[in-house]
Structure 1
């Protein structure tokens, strides 16, 4: 599957989940890493990455715990591991909703 096809498939999974969040107060869509992500009070908590994975912001310890499980991996940008960002592949789509919930709760709790 090409990256474009993978991104399209990821949006087919992500967009309906995102729609429910957009009904919440303080949640909108904004730019993040060349994509558009779900934000709570202007802080991104989830988006679809260029490789077709959902990317979520979670506490560093949770990312450590999940790294390598079901194909999930820590996000790396410019050879630098991002301590609070996790890539969740479409193959693990069953985990998207619960991890999206975790990401929202985490970013909501740390965002004034």
Structure 2
């Protein structure tokens, strides 16, 4: 007698899925501003403000990646809150990876990233 086909297992809700859900939720909150939109950066999902990259999600590491002033990045790395963002071994001074799923921290850093992107836009001729 033939056995019925096995049903696929439900998806695993691991930390990576939770981190991506948090990234999507918090970056959705930024889309109220018509200057903010979704895009990709080096194959990663990201958000931009008027064309300026401001945040991304590293799917392999399941972490938020934000663009901030290099001094702020160094502060976060020194405090152990963030890690250098170094895809393919090249460190990006103004980018930091945040490996913990901390809603308040991510929200704060996304706000800082938006402010930083706005400040760089205002300096352009």
Name the TM tier (shorter chain). Answer: 0.7 to 0.9
| Bigger strand share | 1
- In 1, Cα distance between the equivalents of 2:101 and 2:79? 12
- In 2, Cα distance between the equivalents of 1:29 and 1:44? 10
TM-score (norm 2): 0.78
Contact between 2:19 and 2:101, CA under 8 Å: does it hold in 1? no
TM-score (norm 1): 0.86
Q: Per-residue deviation at 1:93?
A: 3.8
- In 1, Cα distance between the equivalents of 2:57 and 2:80? 17
Match of residue 101 from structure 1: 111
| Structure 1 gap ranges (5+) | none
Of residues 14, 22, 27, the one that matches 1:18 is: 27
Give the aligned CA root-mean-square deviation in angstroms: 1.8
Structure 1 residues 13-60: Cα deviation after superposition (integer angstroms, max 9, x where no partner): 111111111111211001112112111011110111121000000000
The structure with higher relative contact order (CA 8 Å, sep 6+) is 1
Bigger CA drift: 62-71 or 99-108?
Answer: 62-71
Of residues 77, 84, 89, the one that matches 2:99 is: 89
Contact between 2:85 and 2:92, CA under 8 Å: does it hold in 1? yes
For the structure 1 residues 64 and 44, does the alpha-carbon distance in structure 2 shift closer, same or farther, using more than 3 Å as the test?
Answer: same
Structure 1 stretches of 4+ with a deviation exceeding 4 A read: none
